[in-house]
């Protein structure tokens, strides 16, 4: 019969945090020492970065479109429809671009990493790799972290651009605003702090997507059912951490840049 | 062979056992699986590990290769304790140990050649030499024609043979076979056991082998490889292979450690029942 023990739960939680911290520490440490698997890094960049392009472009574009529509309705009440560009650009660059891109990439890649590494774990391929003299963290985890952090940074820029373009398209075609006014207000609204804040977030999100996906994959157990469970947990935890860290980074950026 | 800080080539066969377990215990989720297990495997010896399912046989091989840490006790390989080693030192040690996994554990996203060549490529061996040695290893397991195939295109027996080729590619000083005939039909099992006998008699490599099939265990003890005929044959005059010894486990405890004759003549009730 299943009984809940708070002591066991606490021990398991602390143990998991310790394992996760050790995995992150070793994976990051591998970046600065020993052999680097460049072929694996570029393969992962292709899979994570290029593979995520369609979903990121579509999400960014339509988010920009919806933002422009919603903003125009509210701004119209104050006679400030001309500020639509400013609102779209600020929202996309500071918040929606980084967060939505992080969530999309988490949904696509955290699950992919957890299922791929989880399958390798339950079929003893990870043990075989260790038995053959290869550090699985160096070979499997470090390339995924590096590739995700680098590619998510660029994917966020693309998402920001597509969102602004989507907002512009809606503003010009449906709201009958002037394109040059839209882009001028958008450009003038953005400050150095906004752009830096928006581009720091994907660095954290990329790290979360890769480490959480790899952690649940590397600790999967219990056959195919265990792999499925690891995949689901990876997506859920990655998304929660992305939003939590977004809040913390936003606080930090407000502290640094004052806005 | 791999360049490493660890050199079992300098290991003196007379200095001590290749593998030694001293009061080793390991458990999971509060349940102890192996209880204070002690045994040793001498140079050139083939140690067959027998026992009912779930008694901790596979754990012994993982402990011997440093893939798991014991909760208590000490595991020594090539005269060195694994307990005090860093992970990097263990990678050096594993360069001298070949391991055949229960379900083959081939990397399913790469083909047979890449699987067998994996260790040599990790060690930075030249491409031409790697290809030659892969062909040699595949010739040994009689699977040269499967070099371009992917693991998913192979039968269970073929996968097991590729796994053996991968384990012997760098001519290891110790081979660990985890149920190499598990889940295979009797004919394919005999083919695999013939490869194990061939490796034992041609290279005289120290090995630990787990099997559930008593038939395979006694085939190993009663047969030898005839290089002239290119096949396994019964050792004449009812003799048995001196280098083949047995370790029998029951509920995580050692119940027998000795030669084939000692095993077959044992009066232990569990052994009698297990052997019949």
- Interval B91-113: pLDDT, tens: 888 989 999 998 889 999 999 99
Sheet holding B31-41, edge to edge: B31-41, B19-28, B72-77, B80-81
**Is B7 a residue whose pLDDT tops 60?**
no
Q: Do A133 and B94 touch (CB under 8 A)?
A: yes
Per-residue pLDDT of A20-79, as tens digits, reads: 999 999 999 999 988 889 999 999 999 999 999 999 999 999 999 999 999 988 888 888
By Cβ distance, the residue of B97, B101, B123 closest to A128 is: B101
Gyration radius (Cα) of chain B, Å: 18
- Chain A residues with CB under 8 Å of a chain B CB are 123-125, 127-135
E strand intervals along chain B: 19-28, 31-41, 46-50, 72-77, 80-81, 97-100, 174-177, 206-210, 223-226, 231-234, 244-250, 253-259
Residue A230 has pLDDT above 90, yes or no: yes
Residue of B nearest to A122 (CA): B105
DSSP state of A259: -
Residues 6 or more apart whose CB falls under 8 angstroms from that of B234 comprise B222, B223
Candidates B28, B65, B101, B173: best to mutate against A (most CBs of A within 10 A) is B101
Q: Please, what are the domains in chain B?
A: 11-96+174-275 (3.40.50.300), 106-171 (no CATH)
Answer yes or no: is pLDDT of B167 > 50.
Answer: yes
Side-chain half-sphere exposure of A14, counting CA atoms within 13 A = 6
Q: From the list B94, B95, B107, which residue is nearest A125 (CB)?
A: B107
**Cα–Cα distance, A42 to A33 (Å, whole number):** 19
State the Cα–Cα distance between residues B121 and B110, nearest whole angstrom.
13
* Check: complex ipTM more than 0.90: no
Using the CB atoms, write b or e for A219-242: b if 16+ within 10 Å: bbeeeeebbebbbebbbebbbebb
Please name the residue of chain A whose CA is at the shortest distance from the CA of residue B93: A133
Residues of chain B contacting A125 with CB distance shorter than 8 Å: 105-108
pLDDT digits (tens, 9 = 90+) for B51-104: 888 888 999 999 999 999 999 999 999 989 998 888 888 888 898 999 999 888
For A24, B2, B20, B99, the CA distances from B10, given in Å and listed in that order, are 38, 14, 18, 21
Nearest to B119 by CA among B129, B109, A181: B129
Q: Does the distance separating the beta carbons of B87 and A135 come in below 8 Å?
A: yes
Work out the average pLDDT over A124-138: 93
Residue A131 has its nearest CB partner, among B87, B94, B108, at: B94
Determine the pLDDT at residue B54.
Answer: 83
Has residue A9 got a pLDDT over 90?
Answer: no
CA angle A125, B176, B188 (to 5 degrees): 80
Closest A-chain CA to B118: A132
User: Inter-chain contact A131–B67, Cβ cutoff 8 Å?
Assistant: yes
Backbone angles phi, psi at B225, to 5 degrees: -95, 125
**A50: region left, alpha or beta (phi > 0 left; psi from -120 to 50 alpha):** alpha
Please name the member of B92, B108, B119 whose beta carbon is closest to the beta carbon of A132: B119
CA distance B217 to B55: 17
Give the gap in angstroms from C-alpha A123 to the nearest C-alpha of chain B: 6
> A–B: how many Cβ contacts below 8 A?
48
- Tell me which residue of B145, B142, B143, B113 sits closest to B130, measured CA to CA: B113
CA distance B99 to chain A (A): 7
Q: What is the pLDDT, as a whole number, of residue B62?
A: 94
Tell me the DSSP string of A64-92.
HHHHHHHHHHHHHHTT-GGGHHHHHHHHI
- What are the chain B neighbours of A134 within 8 Å (beta carbons)? 91, 118, 122
Query: Does residue B2 have a pLDDT over 50?
Result: no
Q: Look at residues B113, B197, B172, B103 and name the one whose alpha carbon lies nearest to residue A127.
A: B103
**Distance of alpha carbon B117 from alpha carbon B99, whole angstroms:** 14
- What predicted TM-score, i.e. pTM, was given to this entire model? 0.87
């Amino acid at each position: 019969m299943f009984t809940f023990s708070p002591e066991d739960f606490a021990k398991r939680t602390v143990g998991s945090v310790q394992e996760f911290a050790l995995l992150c520490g070793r994976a990051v440490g591998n970046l600065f020492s020993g052999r680097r698997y460049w072929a694996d890094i570029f393969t992962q960049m292709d899979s994570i970065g290029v593979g995520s392009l369609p979903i990121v472009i579509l999400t960014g574009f339509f988010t920009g479109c919806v933002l422009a529509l919603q903003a125009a309705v509210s701004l119209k009440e104050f006679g400030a429809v001309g500020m639509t560009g400013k609102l779209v650009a600020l929202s996309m660059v500071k918040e929606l671009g980084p967060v939505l891109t992080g969530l999309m990439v988490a949904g696509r890649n955290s699950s992919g990493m957890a299922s791929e590494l989880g399958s390798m774990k339950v079929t003893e391929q990870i043990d075989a790799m260790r038995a053959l003299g290869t550090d699985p963290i160096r070979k499997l985890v470090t390339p995924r972290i590096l590739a995700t952090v680098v590619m998510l940074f660029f994917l966020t820029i693309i998402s920001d651009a597509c969102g602004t373009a989507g907002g512009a398209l809606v503003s010009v075609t449906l709201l009958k605003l002037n394109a040059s006014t839209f882009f001028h207000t958008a450009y003038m609204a953005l400050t150095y702090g906004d752009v830096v804040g928006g581009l720091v977030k994907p660095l954290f999100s990329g790290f979360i997507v890769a480490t959480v996906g790899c952690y649940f994959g590397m600790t999967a157990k219990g056959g195919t059912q265990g792999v499925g469970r690891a995949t689901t947990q990876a997506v859920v935890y990655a998304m929660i951490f992305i939003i939590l860290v977004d809040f913390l980074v936003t606080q930090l950026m407000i502290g640094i840049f004052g806005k | 062979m791999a360049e490493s800080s660890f050199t079992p080539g300098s290991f003196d066969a007379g200095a001590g056992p290749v593998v030694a377990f001293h009061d080793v215990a390991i458990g999971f989720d509060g349940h102890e699986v192996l209880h204070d297990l002690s045994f040793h495997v001498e140079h050139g010896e083939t140690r067959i590990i027998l026992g009912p399912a779930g008694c901790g046989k596979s754990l012994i091989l993982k402990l011997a290769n440093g893939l798991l840490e014991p909760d208590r006790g000490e595991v020594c390989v090539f005269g060195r304790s694994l307990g005090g080693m860093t992970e990097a030192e263990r990678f050096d040690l594993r360069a001298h140990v070949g391991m055949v996994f229960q379900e083959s554990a081939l990397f399913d996203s790469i083909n047979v050649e890449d699987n067998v060549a994996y260790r040599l490529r990790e060690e930075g061996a030249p491409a031409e030499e790697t290809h030659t040695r892969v062909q040699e290893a595949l010739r040994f397991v009689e699977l040269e024609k499967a070099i371009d195939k992917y693991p998913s295109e192979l039968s269970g027996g073929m996968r097991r043979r590729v796994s053996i080729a991968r384990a012997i590619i760098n001519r290891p000083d110790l081979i660990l076979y985890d149920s190499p005939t598990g889940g295979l039909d009797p004919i394919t099992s005999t083919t695999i056991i013939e490869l194990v006998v061939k490796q034992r008699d041609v290279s005289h490599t120290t090995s630990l082998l787990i099997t559930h099939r008593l038939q395979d265990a006694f085939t190993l003890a009663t047969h030898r490889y005839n290089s002239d005929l290119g096949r396994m044959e019964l050792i004449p005059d009812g003799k048995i292979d001196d280098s083949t010894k047995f370790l029998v486990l029951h509920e995580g405890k050692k119940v027998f450690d000795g030669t084939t004759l000692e095993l077959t003549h044992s009066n232990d009730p569990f052994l009698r029942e297990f052997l019949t």
